[in-house]
Amino acid sequence: MWQINSVYLREIYQNARMKKTAVLLTVFNGCLSLFGLLAFYITFEGAQKIGSSVNYSDILTIYGIITGAQFLLVLFLIPGMTSGAISGEREKQTLDILLSTRMTSFQIVQGKLLASLSLMLLLAVSSLPIIALVFAVGGITFLQLLQFQLFLFITSIYLGSIGIFFSSLCKRTTLSTVCSYMTVITITIGLAMLLLGGHLIESLGSMRQEIVYGIRKMDGMAEVNITIATLLFDPIFTFFSLLKSQIGIEAGAFTDWRTNSRAANYLIDHWFTISILAQSAVSILLMVASSWLITPVKKRKRTR
Amino acid sequence: MLVIKNLVKKFGKSYALEGLNMELHKGELYGFVGPNGAGKTTTMKIIASLLSADSGEVWVNGIDALRYPRHVKEQIGYMPDFFGVYDNLDTQEYLSFYASIYGIVGNPAEKRIDELLELVNLREKKHDYVDELSRGMKQRLCLARTLLHQPKLLLLDEPASGLEPRARLELQGVLKNLCAQKVTILLSSHVLKDLSEMCTNLGIIESGKLVIEGPMKEIMAKQKAENPLVIKIMSGHDIAIKLLKEMPEVTNIASKEGSISFHFYGEESKEAELLTRLIANGVSIASYKREEGNLEEIFLRLTK
């Protein structure tokens, strides 16, 4: 008989009773509301105050700001929510007890991730009225909004698996949290900075215009080794590619890529799908690695 | 029920277990005693599949524990030397969580939990939060947890540590009750008096090896035979000392407050002869007895 993961059930039970969850919901939706109102203010009131008329062609920027805020909150919250998942059990001395039961390491890791995702889902659902602000100005379909929520969900799995991996690797939650945030910063801002750096150099005329953000030598400068494939693992690029496909917003270096390579062009054209698949694959790998890390008896050998 | 053959476990260059051999039969309450670092917890963790062994064999109810840890976990209830409880869960929820791991859900789970709470005398605490229970109650709750799936072998690591006398007595009662139900128990403890009162068998481990093993009664009887004889003298003290010194079977003569204690290494007939000789030489004897043996003495004598 199919049964819900026991660790998952216990976690959501405990989360529901924690004051922390209520605070998280309030802060998350509070921040999102502020961003939403700010976006409206800038688009309508602000434009009128500085004497210019409302530019209705830019109205979809509101959608970009609200979803961007939600995306940033996920980036900020998920590593913190998951980095204590396993190390916390170790600190409470409950991990050994769990591992002495018939529960497998993978089931424990899975339960932990599902619990974090459920909390994320709760945040997403509770924020729907705020997100619905975008319908007030039109231009966005329900399916597009659903696509964004799906993207957020997959990003949560991706970031959550990073948090859980470090939580399995590190004995202490503090260290695990630091490692998780450092990794998330590296794969998001770090990769973006590399690209933006390349873009800056290019604009200074050191790189030829037809350059791909791949392996290329620059005249008289250091070698830039940013392969375009690396950026598939950066959720910021996935987010901007989604925005570009949904509302046509260009985000400079994040979306303005030129290449003569057919393969690179295919990658750029299907960026959202491919990056989501790449990030999902990394998530699976990290989950398997996490469960391997906490498995107490790794090699079953015959000792006779 | 449990057979351990030549079990070896090394941590770095030092041996935690050095060819350990043990055997527990169904329904036995086996006291596992040893100094700190002797290898008790390591042994229990290997049996519970929480630690790998370097070599040797561990068989639990006919299953090779080193090759099939998952199968063995179904047979075992492991209680470590710490509580490992969760916040924000009451006693019933805590037990329900572990019951669900073993696939016990719904009405059967409720029934089983009620039975166990009754057994460990915590029925009135069913809806109290776990972290608010006293140390003794937590200990009994953890014992109830290990019994949820009706294991055939219980591994209890220091279950009585830090418990006040009444709580220890209650725990003793529960364990004796379980033994009567043919549950096999491997129990490590430093409270030797308790062990001598409730265990059917005893094993003393030192530096990863058993130095003595067998039924508790036999070990205690053997120890008693090696204890000094004490005679209380009414008159003829000096004559008695002189006569004792003449006997080759007598050693370690000590005189204190009208009593003489000495070790006698000989057959019972020689012991009777000694008594007759003392009386025949005019020594007036008020009492004649062998000092009672206790587990602490055995432990101190066999371990460093």
Q: What is the pLDDT of residues B130-152, one digit of tens each?
A: 988 888 888 889 989 999 999 99
| Residue-level pLDDT at A198 | 63
- Domain assignment present for residue A300? The answer is no
Provide the number of structural domains found in chain A.
1
DSSP B282: T
Chain A: closest CA distance from residue B223 (Å): 36
Instruction: Give the per-residue pLDDT at A258.
Output: 54
Whether the pLDDT of residue A212 is over 50: the answer is no
Residue B187 clears pLDDT 70, i.e. is over it: yes
The mean pLDDT value for B273-283 works out to: 86
How confident is the model over B197-215, as a mean pLDDT? 87
Question: Rounded to an integer, what distance in angstroms lies between the CA atom of residue B244 and that of residue B229?
Answer: 12
pTM of the model: 0.80
Residue A210: band (very low, low, confident or very high) from pLDDT cuts 50, 70, 90? very low
Higher pLDDT, B293 or A152: A152
Instruction: Give the confidence band of A207 by pLDDT, cuts at 50, 70, 90.
Output: very low
Question: pLDDT tens across A21-50, in order?
Answer: 899 899 989 988 888 888 777 777 766 666
Interface mutation vs chain B, best among A2, A4, A6, most B CBs within 10 Å:
A6
Q: Range with the lowest mean pLDDT among A202-206, B63-67, B91-95?
A: A202-206
Of the residues B8, B88, B95, the best mutation for testing chain A's interface (the one with the most A CB atoms within 10 Å of its CB) is B88
Which one of A192-206, A254-268, B146-160 scores highest in mean pLDDT? Answer: B146-160
Residue of B nearest to A299 (CA): B52
- Nearest chain A residue to B49 by CA: give it: A297
Main-chain phi, psi angles of A16, to 5 degrees: -65, -25
Which residue of chain A has the CA closest to B89?
A: A14
The three-class DSSP label of residue B163 is: coil
Tell me whether residues A102 and B88 touch, CB distance under 8 A: no
Q: Which residue of A has its CA nearest to B155?
A: A100
| DSSP track, B132-162 | GS-HHHHHHHHHHHHHTT--SEEEEESTTTT
| Interface contact B70, partner A, CB < 8 A | yes
CB contact under 8 Å between B78 and A97, yes or no, is yes
Q: Quick one: tokens of B236?
A: 């003829």
| B68–chain A Cβ distance below 8 A for any pair | yes
In chain B, which among 101-130 make CB contacts under 8 A with chain A?
A: 101-103, 105
**pLDDT for A250:** 64
**Which of residues A221 and A16 earns the better pLDDT score?**
A16
B132 lies within 8 A of chain A by CB = no
* B57 and A CB contact within 8 Å: yes
Of B68, B76, B101, the CB nearest to A6: B101
Q: Which is higher by pLDDT, A162 or A53?
A: A162
B158 in contact with A, Cβ within 8 Å:
no
Higher-pLDDT residue of B197 and A228 is: B197
Query: Is A56 a residue whose pLDDT tops 70?
Result: no
Query: Does the beta carbon of B41 lie under 8 angstroms from any beta carbon of chain A?
Result: no
CA B230 to chain A, closest CA, distance in angstroms equals: 50
pLDDT averaged over every residue in chain B: 86
Query: With contacts defined as CB-CB under 8 Å, which chain B residues touch A301?
Result: 66-67
pLDDT confidence bin for A156, thresholds 50/70/90: very high
Which pLDDT does position A193 carry in this prediction?
Answer: 78
Could you read off the pLDDT of B95-113 as tens digits, one per residue? 999 999 998 988 999 999 9
Domain that holds residue A189: 6-294
Closest to B73 (Cβ–Cβ): which among A13, A102, A302? A102
Mutate to test the interface with B, among A13, A100, A298 (most CBs of B within 10 A): A100
Q: What whole-number percentage of chain A has pLDDT above 70?
A: 76
Mean pLDDT for chain A? 80
Residues with Cβ within 8 Å of A186's Cβ and at least 6 positions away in sequence, in order, are none
Would you say residue B238 has pLDDT above 60?
Answer: yes
Confidence of residue B253 (pLDDT cuts 50, 70, 90): confident
Mean pLDDT: which of A179-188, A223-232, B28-37, B190-199 is highest?
Answer: A179-188
Distance between CA atoms of A259 and B104, rounded to whole angstroms?
Answer: 60
Query: Which residue in A has a C-alpha nearest to residue B82's C-alpha?
Result: A93
What span, in angstroms and rounded, lies between the C-alpha atoms of A157 and A87? Answer: 18
Write down the pLDDT at residue B82.
Answer: 83
Is the residue at A234 inside a domain?
Answer: yes
The answer to whether residue B303 scores a pLDDT higher than 60 is: yes
Domain annotation for chain B: domains and CATH numbers: 2-214 (3.40.50.300), 226-302 (3.30.70.100)
Mean pLDDT of A236-245: 86
Q: What Cα–Cα distance (Å) separates residue B226 from each residue in A23, B196, B293?
A: 69, 17, 9
For residue B232, is pLDDT > 70? yes
Nearest to B191 by CA among B137, B134, B139: B139
Q: Could you tell me if the ipTM is greater than 0.90?
A: no
Is A144 domain-assigned?
A: yes
Alpha-carbon distance values, B147 to B75, B84, B94, B201, B263 (Å): 10, 16, 13, 21, 47
Query: Do the Cβ atoms of B100 and A96 come within 8 Å?
Result: no
